[in-house]
Amino acid sequence: MNAPIKRPFDVEALRADFPILRREVQGRPLVYLDNAASAQKPEVVIGAMSNAMRGSYANVHRGLHTLANETTEAFESARNSVARFIGASAASEIVFTKGGTQAINIVAAGIDIQPGDEIVLSVMEHHSNIVPWHFLRERKGAVLRWLDIDEDGRIDLDALDALIGARTKMVAITHMSNVLGAPTPAADIVRIAHAKGAPVLLDGCQRAVHGRLDVTALDVDFYAFTGHKLYGPTGIGVLYGKAERLAALAPFEGGGEMIDIVEQGRVLYNAPPHRFEAGTPPILEAIGLKAAIDWFTNQDRAVIEAHEGTLRERAMAALGDLDWVTLHGRAPDKGAIIAFSVAGAHPHDVAQILDRQGVAVRAGHHCAQPLMQRLGVSATARASFACYNRLDEVDALIEALHKARKLLS
Ligand SMILES: Cc1ncc(COP(=O)(O)O)c(C=O)c1O
């Protein structure tokens, strides 16, 4: 996906937008390599949320006063920004949720499932794209059909084709693994599923950050992603759904705003997207997400992708040179997400020793236990890069790993 960098990239200028990157950890400059878990926030996001609270804030919709109208405008303008960002054909196809997890839960809870209906998912899904489907298995008798991957996270399209049948009610697959960094061939997945009449949900929580998106061109039915990995705030995510797919989905939660008429004997629901936004929505978070998306789209995305490609290649090469490190996932087009194991050391111990040197990585099962089982490990360490990471931070990771190895062996 990311070609090596060709144009110069002023990473320092970009880093200046992120106040937290100026802090120290354990008496050393912070080297933040936990971006796949959550990314840091640029000043414009912090400012947009705080300015809203200082200058124009009220509850949204149905307001008959200035602040309510201004806030509604800001909230709905965030929906427009998201729609443009992912290439949706209308803002009404964008549902604000509290995160990527809730976006997937809305779809799983809203589709019609009869006993024996099938859901196809891959073994490298995040638990957010597994457990909502397990609910359907437990509660409605759905059958989960699992698509295997190779060691690098590539899927076999013929195997996918063979798994989809007349009873497939959803093909739910990640657009980029949060562990292996492997992107999935979304256009092929959609083509194969649609040829058999099955809808597709892509979990784009990682991919939305690491590449450009056009959900309309992809022809995908549902696309889920989360704000906090995209330099935005926590507490907000997005469910994109084709208009006709959202219209066919039963509402997830009941409450204010998602209704048209409520009487003692009946209830009529509002149209999407509001049908899926019961209660007071994440107003400030939507304003923050808009600021993040506007900031991100104002950057030269091609240069950022190339920079992330350079970071990934440098890290993969340096880690690959260490015969006591095992890399998990070597797809050449992978995102800058690198899972690895250190021989003879538990990933948690590795992460703690790296932290003492100011280097933040994640260790554990990464909410992907079926993938851990597939890889034959219980946990891994994971370094994940963002647009603001520098090449010398790769070197800091390697140096810190050498120290960890000495201490742990
Ligand atoms: C691939 C993937 N899907 C879903 C999620 C869940 O996102 P959230 O926790 O923001 O709901 C994550 C978060 O790590 C993820 O990496």
Q: What are phi and psi of 207, to 5 degrees?
A: -65, -30
Of residues 398 and 408, more confidently modeled = 398
Percent of the chain at pLDDT exceeding 70: 98
């729609």: which residue's tokens?
Answer: 83
Cα(248) to ligand 1 centroid in Å equals: 25
Which has the closest alpha carbon to 72: 59, 81, 82? 59
Cα(228) to ligand 1 centroid in Å equals: 10
What are the tokens at 318? Answer: 């340096």
Which has the closest alpha carbon to 86: 236, 225, 246, 288? 225
Confidence (pTM): 0.96
Whether 178 contacts 36, CB under 8 Å? yes
Cα dihedral value 119, 122, 126, 129, nearest 10: -10
| Residue 8 pLDDT > 90 | no
DSSP 93: G
| Residue range 28-83, pLDDT digits in tens | 999 999 999 999 999 999 999 999 999 999 999 877 999 999 999 999 999 999 99
Whether 251 contacts 275, CB under 8 Å? yes
Q: How many CA atoms lie within 13 A of 340 on its CB side?
A: 27
Q: How far is residue 146's CA from residue 162's CA, in Å, rounded to a whole number?
A: 11
- The average pLDDT across 287-294 equals 98
- The average pLDDT across 249-254 equals 97
Q: How far is residue 18's CA from residue 38's CA, in Å, rounded to a whole number?
A: 14
- The average pLDDT across 217-222 equals 98
Ligand 1 pocket at CB < 6 A? 99-101, 126, 128-129, 174, 178, 203, 205-206, 226, 228, 237
pLDDT band at 349 (very low <50, low <70, confident <90, very high): very high
Catalytic residues: 367
DSSP 229: G
